Structure formats: structure tokens, C-alpha cells
Structure 1
């Protein structure tokens, strides 16, 4: 059985390792999104034990909090927001034959999930990228299944 752990690596401007951490436990776990909040703390997201997983660390890599998001199977993007909040994009229902369903979750500075939205509201689609707009809204990118199609193959 494959055994993996989440891995965070802080690098200097020259690319030298400053510190590294392997949070979580061994399994098929890992991170694939990272962002830095305005206070310099770091948030990383991915999946652990088949659930979405987000960790927040201080600038030295010391754990501040860790949350599992069972409403997500996999985290695809994180966006730092004012007041140390985090927007989390992830896949709620992954499919091996076509698009799944995405969710956008807003985390407060303590890791509490304030609200969430299913995207798309109807049909199937997966969002893999998320960015903050100047007005505080978001732009996301991914793939959308045709609503009138019964063939979900990619």
C-alpha cells in the first residue's frame, strides 16, 4: 500500500530550504494548494483519509489549527482573504468517468466553516482554480459537463 504524508516546505528567496513539515499521518494524504494570509501565516489544503483537509501554520511552520472538511473529498484551491479568512475550493463528488461537483467553503480565521456553496448549482462541473477579484468576489476555472448530455465521459 502506498503511504504518503502532507509536505510543506518553506524556501528562501534563493530557493534554499528554511523549514519543512510533514503534518498529518501516513496514508494516501497530501497537499496541493497553499496560500499566505496577510499576517504571514500559511494555509495548505489537500486531502487526508478521503476528506478535504486544511492546515494553518505560523510563519515558522508551527501548527495553529487543522480542520477536516468532510463535505469535500479533495481541495483544489485556496485564496487568502482579509482578516485571516480563507476561501477553499474543492471537489465534493469526484468521478472517474466525468466531471464531479465542486464546493466553495469560506473558513473563518479559526478554521470554522462560515458558509458553503455547491457549484454548479445544477448539473456537474469541477473547478480547479480560484482567484480573488478587486470587489471581493471570486473568479474560478475548471470544466463543466453539458447539462443535456447523458454521456459524462471526458
Structure 2
């Protein structure tokens, strides 16, 4: 990649400007990597030209306050995004739990209704048995009475 740089008159060998166009007083620098070109174009005052005419770009250019603030905001947004993702997972888990609990409740209600029906059937059967037992007792009492009358009449 090719860019144009201007060495500072007051702070040699550091740059005072950089451009992608040939400007008056600017020198052409070729063979730069994209990272070098971006650094020279965005922060020329942190870059310099050595005695051999090679552009030197520091590995880590100190961030401006605006860049620090932007980075801080980005980290905060990433943190919020993670919290939102975690909350959404919690909401999804709770929705799944609610569905499972509703299914369990529906099954328990169905079991309860079945048990109620079984109790009603047992109560009906018990009533039928008690009615039969009462009839048997009544017949037994008649039989005993008839036996005792027939034995008492022979004496």
C-alpha cells in the first residue's frame, strides 16, 4: 500500500500529517501493510521516518481519550449484551419449567379426577353391598322369626 507523509518541522522525525493523495510537501511511502497504513493515517504524530526513509509505526499507539471512552462503552455494551443473553436464557429456562410444571399439574389433575371417579365407584359399590346386606339381614330376621314361630307352635 502507498501513502504520503509529511515530517514535522517542529518535532522531527515524527510526522505532522499523512494522506492517501500526493500533497505539497508530502513524501511517498510504499510497501506498507494495512495496519501500518491505518496507523500512519489515523495517528501520524505517533509515527516517524527513520534515517533510511522507512516509516516506523509503534506496535501500540496510545489511545486518545475518545478511543478509550469508545473502548469502555464497547466493553460495557458487550457486558450488557452478555447479561441480556443470560437473562434470555433464564427466561427460556423458566418458560420450559413453567411448561413442565403445567404438564405435571394437568397430569396430577387427571389422576385426581380418576381417583375421585374410583372413590365414587367404590362408594356406589359399598352402598349396593350395604343394601344387599340389609336385605339379607331382613330375610334372616324373617327366617328366624318364622323358625321361632314354628317351633313355638309345636309345643
For normalisation by structure 2, the TM-score amounts to: 0.27
Larger Rg: 2
For normalisation by structure 1, the TM-score amounts to: 0.27
Q: By percentage of residues, which structure has more helix? A: 2
